Amino acid sequence: MKIKKLVLDTKNPLGNPNGVKMALGVTLLSSIGLEYKVAPQFINAGNYTALAYPFLINIIPLGYPCWKWVNLHIVNYKIYKQLMNIVHSEQLIDYGDKKETTTFGERKVEYGVKIKRQKVHILLYILMV
C-alpha cells in the first residue's frame, strides 16, 4: 500500500521556528566547542582554512526549512497550488497588518490552517486541523 502524505501549514510554512532556532543553537554551541578543541592544532600547522570546517555543521538545521520549501514549491507544486486555491477560496487565512512581513517578504499570517493531505492507494483524504 503506497501512502503519499503532504502537510501544508499556512501559519508556519517552513516548520516550527522555535525548533529550528533550538537546533541551530545546539549545533552552533557544538561547533564552537569543537573549534575550541581543534583550533590550536590548526593554527600551529598553518591550516587556517580548516578553521571554518566545524561551522559547516550548522548546515544541518538550516537544511530542514529549505527542504520543506523545495518539497512544497518544486516537488509537489501542483498539489501545493490546489491546496492553496482551496485555502484562498474559502478564506481560511487571516493576515495581520500590511506593514508586517515575514523573512521572505510575505504578509504575516495571524490565523492560519494546517492541511494534511494523504493519498492511500486510490483514496484521497484531506484533513484540516
C-alpha grid cell, residue 122: 486510490
Position 126 scores a pLDDT of 72
The alpha carbon of residue 75 and the mean position of all alpha carbons in its chain are separated, in whole angstroms, by 15
Write out the H or E segment, with its range, that includes residue 79.
helix 77-89
Q: What is the pLDDT of residue 86?
A: 86
pLDDT given for residue 10 in this prediction: 83
- The pLDDT assigned to 104 comes to 63
> Which residues are CB-neighbours of 90 under 8 A, at least 6 positions away?
none
Q: Is the pTM of this model over 0.95?
A: no
According to the model, what pLDDT value does residue 103 have?
Answer: 65
Q: What is the pLDDT along the chain (129 residues), one digit of tens a residue?
A: 566 778 888 887 777 777 778 888 888 888 888 888 888 888 888 888 888 888 888 788 878 888 888 888 889 899 888 888 888 888 888 888 877 777 667 778 888 888 888 877 777 767 776
Q: How much is the pLDDT for 67?
A: 85
